[in-house]
Amino acid sequence: MAGNMSKADRPDQPNAASRFSEEKATYAVRGADTPDFDTGIAAIRNVLKTLPLKPGVYRMHDARGDVLYVGKARALKNRVGNYVQIDRLPNRLRRMVALTRSMTIVTTNSEAEALLLEAQLIKRYRPAYNVLLRDDKSFPFILLRADHKFPRIQKHRGARRHKGQYYGPFASAGSVNQTLNALQKLFLLRSCTDSFFNNRDRPCLLYQIKRCSAPCVGRIDDASYDSLVADAKSFLDGKSSAVQAKLAKEMKSAAEALDFERAAMVRDRLRALTFIQGSQAINAQGVGDADIFALAHRNGVMGIQAFFIRGGQNWGHRSFFPAHVAEISEDEVFTSFLAQFYEDVPPAKSIFLDRQLGEADLLAQALSERAERKIEISMPQRGDRVRLVKQATRNAEEALDRKLAESTTQGKLLQEVADLFELPEAPRRIEVYDNSHIQGTNALGAMIVAGPEGFIKGQYRKFNIKNPDTAPGDDFAMMREVMARRFGRLVNPPRTGEGDQPQAIGGGVQSSVVSEGIPPPSVAAQLPPPRAGEDFEPERDENWPDLVLIDGGKGQMSSVMQIVRELGVEDVAFIGVSKGPDRHAGREMFHFPDGREFTLPVNAPVMFYLQRLRDEAHRFAIGAHRAKRSKAITVSALDEVPGIGPSRKKALLMHFGTARAVRNASLEDLQKAPGVSAAVAQTIYDYYHSNG
């Protein structure tokens, strides 16, 4: 983990010292904005004086206060002391030390607590020198609600606040949807919302197609529905054989009683059960609850395959490709990945790996403390578990092969983009901008981001048009506002403050910030930002684009370039993309800021790639606009009246019919509305009449 250097990472002493001198000289040539080894080492030494021999977590900050690295230690003083031995560090850590200007220290009660806190902080700050879990999207679960007389079964993502049983994780929305559909056929549990349930006077379509037992209108009694819920719990807990035997017995009894309609219904449920059991890609009977992980490594890329087994059922698998793995051992990447992965996902009772990890016991202890139950991490040696791990290993290798093939193709396309738009190298970050509105209403701008790994959806942004001087439908003014806000933040980035302290784990958490020659982040945040147009070189980071594509022609390009020049933005290629004749796809025109323009052959691969970028920007912009428009539809003029909550608003609308009728009502009429006092009626009357 943090600062844990193997002998393989440590070059021979004379060569390391020589390379250190060469690297220091190289940085000196690059100018004042380059890393400074002496200042970085001095900052760390200054912190080192105050460190205890206790477990904890440390954060390294750059001159702006941004987090460079988060690490954990069994003994803080010893671990941080490794960083001042610059000649023994690998290149990655030496670059980090050169950028370090301050540190934050958090002590914990144990190394296990430090490991959990480290994963939490890495997920929060996403430092540039830590192994990062790229795909940190939340996993879907099946939730069997327990806050209603007739429990509801549903898909769930996010925080688990509802009362009930959660089953998962499932690898994807597709796998959980498939399971939910089969469960509806099998157990006939309701999936509707409580408001829908409470307002039914006849069964819905799900009852007609035999996917619900219609408890909303009394087609099933309480005891029978409870029996269905109990069967669903047994099945999801892995007791499918007992459920199957029970259904077979019910079908036989119904047939013997000549109740063929009921026998047919139970038969259909048995078929649904057989479908679920037969759709398992792997046979995991007897394994119980387990998570299976395998790592593959080739050409500097690492891929990790995860299988999720719950109750002996395969609930899907997913591939992960951690970022920032260069010069880091497989053991360290795997351990860091698992710690971050289980930050939000509840661990299974057993975790099977394809290798022995040096910190497996520590990780198991940390996960056990968080889950409040025993978690075992092991490398199976025999039996079905070895077969499952081998299957995960094979899947990891195949997924890595596909990833490398896709990366090669993507790399070729990006190089063609670089040649096409005269970039010095293949772009690492492409931003595409589009506007969406209907005759100027609900206007917004949208930004999508793409790179060597494809679309980076976690960095998509939407910009509500706020400038009152922007005329409705003025696309040029809208694009100017979007560019001013986006690149204004890049040129004058917000500093990272220390008010956002980590959550204490296990108590006894202390925090301190020590710096050398530079104000700590909390002070730096108070310094005035540089003004637009000043003669300075903006600091580039991973959020700085190499290429910006604007949906539009010469007019949009002129508007954009006016703003970015005022901000002093340079070394970013801006290209306009306009529709071809008759808005024909494949005939797009590309516009350079200097007025040059060209088109590409219809069947050129790079044209297809640029079309995908533009179409994704359209999709995101239109989706965001529709969501904003739908939200605006539900907004009532009564929402702006002070003192009018949901209950009074509903009472007024029920009494008067429309918000306009409320606005035009006399004071006496308002006082007659149910639930409206004289004082509230006076408030409503004064609000509308004082505002004309």
Between 448 and 645, the more confident residue is 448
**For residues 45-63, average pLDDT:** 92
| Same domain for 359 and 337 | yes
**601 falls in which pLDDT band (50, 70, 90)?**
confident
Tell me: pLDDT of 22 over 60: no
Angle formed at CA 373 by CA 371 and CA 376, multiple of 5 degrees:
95
Weakest-pLDDT range from 143-157, 383-397, 465-479: 465-479
| Same domain for 165 and 96 | no
Q: In whole angstroms, what is the distance from residue 279 CA to residue 622 CA?
A: 37
**For residues 213-234, average pLDDT:** 88
Weakest-pLDDT range from 35-39, 335-339, 352-356: 35-39
| Same domain for 354 and 302 | yes
Tell me: pLDDT of 115 over 80: yes
Tell me: pLDDT of 15 over 60: no
Q: Left, alpha or beta for 142 (phi > 0: left; psi -120 to 50: alpha)?
A: beta
- Whether 134 is covered by a domain: the verdict is no
Strand partners, 56: 73, 107
What pLDDT, on the 0 to 100 scale, is given for residue 540?
54
Last residue of a domain, one of 586, 604, 632: 632
Q: What amino acid is encoded at 322 in this protein?
A: P
**For residues 170-192, average pLDDT:** 82
- Whether 508 is covered by a domain: the verdict is no
Q: In whole angstroms, what is the distance from residue 315 CA to residue 108 CA?
A: 36
Q: Are strands 350-353 and 376-378 parallel, antiparallel or unpaired?
A: parallel
**For residues 259-280, average pLDDT:** 67
Q: In whole angstroms, what is the distance from residue 617 CA to residue 417 CA?
A: 18
Tell me: pLDDT of 400 over 70: yes
Q: In whole angstroms, what is the distance from residue 64 CA to residue 520 CA?
A: 9
Decide: 88 and 10 in contact? Cβ < 8 Å: yes
Contacts of 641 (CB under 8 A, 6+ apart): 683, 684, 687, 688
**For residues 334-349, average pLDDT:** 90
Weakest-pLDDT range from 84-88, 430-434, 441-445, 551-555: 441-445
Query: Measured in whole angstroms, how far is the alpha carbon of residue 41 from the centre of its chain?
Result: 35
**For residues 254-260, average pLDDT:** 78
Please report how many Cα atoms fall inside a 13 Å half-sphere around the Cα of residue 582, on the Cβ side: 1
| Same domain for 583 and 477 | yes
Measured in degrees and rounded to the nearest 5, phi and psi for residue 670 equal -60, -40
| Same domain for 648 and 550 | no
What pLDDT, on the 0 to 100 scale, is given for residue 352?
94
Tell me: pLDDT of 373 over 80: yes
pLDDT digits (tens, 9 = 90+) for 409-451: 888 899 999 999 988 899 999 999 988 876 656 778 889 999 8
- CA 310, 315, 317, 320 dihedral sign is negative
Tell me: pLDDT of 72 over 90: yes
- How many other CB atoms are found less than 10 A from the CB of residue 191? 17
End-to-end CA distance of the chain: 66
Q: In whole angstroms, what is the distance from residue 117 CA to residue 137 CA?
A: 20
Give how many domains the chain has, as a whole number.
Answer: 5
Which CATH number does the domain housing residue 298 bear?
A: 3.30.420.340
Tell me: pLDDT of 507 over 80: no
User: In whole angstroms, how large is the CA radius of gyration of the chain?
Assistant: 31
- Whether 124 is covered by a domain: the verdict is no
**DSSP secondary structure letters along 370-385:** HHTS--EEE---SSHH
Tell me: pLDDT of 28 over 90: no
| Same domain for 681 and 649 | yes
**For residues 558-578, average pLDDT:** 86
What pLDDT, on the 0 to 100 scale, is given for residue 113?
93
Q: Which residue's structure tokens are 């930004």?
A: 447
- CA 521, 526, 528, 532 dihedral sign is positive
Domain residues for the domain of 300 are 290-404
Q: In whole angstroms, what is the distance from residue 448 CA to residue 456 CA?
A: 8
Residue 516's SS3 state is coil
pLDDT mean across residues, the chain: 79
| Same domain for 325 and 274 | no
Query: Measured in whole angstroms, how far is the alpha carbon of residue 379 from the centre of its chain?
Result: 30
What pLDDT, on the 0 to 100 scale, is given for residue 634?
53
| Same domain for 307 and 207 | no
- Whether 129 is covered by a domain: the verdict is no
- Whether 84 is covered by a domain: the verdict is yes
| Same domain for 205 and 107 | no
Instruction: For residue 639, give both structure tokens.
Output: 């929402």
Decide: 303 and 320 in contact? Cβ < 8 Å: yes
Last residue of a domain, one of 355, 377, 404: 404
**DSSP secondary structure letters along 520-583:** -HHHHTTSPPPPTT-S--PPP-TTS-SEEEEES-HHHHHHHHHHHHHHT--S-EEEEEE--GGG
What pLDDT, on the 0 to 100 scale, is given for residue 524?
30
Is the preceding omega at residue 519 within 30 degrees of 0, hence cis? no
What pLDDT, on the 0 to 100 scale, is given for residue 547?
93
- Whether 415 is covered by a domain: the verdict is no
| Same domain for 567 and 462 | yes
Contacts of 12 (CB under 8 A, 6+ apart): none
- Whether 306 is covered by a domain: the verdict is yes
Which CATH number does the domain housing residue 681 bear?
A: 1.10.150.20
Residue 144's SS3 state is strand
Q: How many helices (H) and strands (E) does the chain have?
A: 22, 20
| Same domain for 451 and 326 | no
- Whether 499 is covered by a domain: the verdict is no
**497 falls in which pLDDT band (50, 70, 90)?**
very low
Decide: 556 and 593 in contact? Cβ < 8 Å: no
Strand partners, 323: 132
Tell me: pLDDT of 552 over 80: yes
What pLDDT, on the 0 to 100 scale, is given for residue 86?
86
| Same domain for 104 and 44 | yes
- CA 360, 88, 119, 459 dihedral sign is negative
Tell me: pLDDT of 5 over 90: no
Decide: 24 and 37 in contact? Cβ < 8 Å: yes
pLDDT digits (tens, 9 = 90+) for 187-210: 889 988 888 888 888 888 888 888
Q: In whole angstroms, what is the distance from residue 499 CA to residue 151 CA?
A: 42
- How many other CB atoms are found less than 10 A from the CB of residue 354? 20
Q: Which residue's structure tokens are 């060469």?
A: 22
CA distances from 230 to 226, 242, 309 (A): 6, 12, 21
Tell me: pLDDT of 518 over 60: no
**672 falls in which pLDDT band (50, 70, 90)?**
confident
